[in-house]
Amino acid sequence: MRVVKPDHPLIAHKLTYLRDKRTDSPTFRRLAEELMTLLAYEATRDVRVEPFAIETPVAPTTGIKLSNPKPLVVPILRAGLGMLEGMVRLLPSAEVGFLGMQRDEATLAITTYANRLPSDLSGRQVYVLDPMLATGGSMSDAIHFLIERGADDITAVCLLAAPEGVARLEKNLAEVSPPVTLVVGAIDEKLNANGYIVPGLGDAGDRLYGLV
């Protein structure tokens, strides 16, 4: 697995305010979208393109456009929705699928409760969005789910990660070829006994949308 952690002051700046417990939900959502757009710039560095002939007001030239099939963006519900707008702002022509995965707070076990994805992902570049890579369980399960449907070019994008989550993802995806790419805003200190990232930012879903 290839891990990309961009070193940019704006990423650190936005993460600081996301972490602050005084940041309200509307501000948190806006910052998450803005941070996602910064991370999306790195995540799409290898997006597939093809030549495209155009005419400028001065002369003909050849540029590039996104290749077909278009990239697929898959936010993991519900917290991944907070990253979706920031991603499609950079990739407006991408298609969007949804995957609902939930962690049992007591056992930390992962269950899949919703799936809105094409049955065949062969030849598709897939970008999986989840704010927090904590234990790594939900992201690992999501990526294997996509691989079973034929995806062979997968990039995971997270705002924050714990070292334990990165290690688990590396272990569970060691045999995947070509390697999965993980783009993350920061890798924090550790997980606590409840499976939360330390120092982290709390429960991303609750901070994005409030308690349910």
> Is the bond leading into 199 cis (omega within 30 degrees of zero)?
yes
Residues with a catalytic annotation lie at: 103, 107, 203, 206
Closest CA to 187 of 159, 156, 157: 159
What whole-number distance in Å separates Cα of residue 173 and Cα of residue 31? 30
46: CB partners within 8 A, 6+ apart: 181
What's the gap between Cα 193 and its chain centre? 25
Residue with tokens 């499609």: 88
Closest CA to 42 of 138, 155, 136: 155
What whole-number distance in Å separates Cα of residue 158 and Cα of residue 96? 17
Rg of the chain over all Cα atoms, to the nearest angstrom? 17
What size, in residues, is the chain?
Answer: 212
Closest CA to 95 of 65, 75, 79, 122: 75
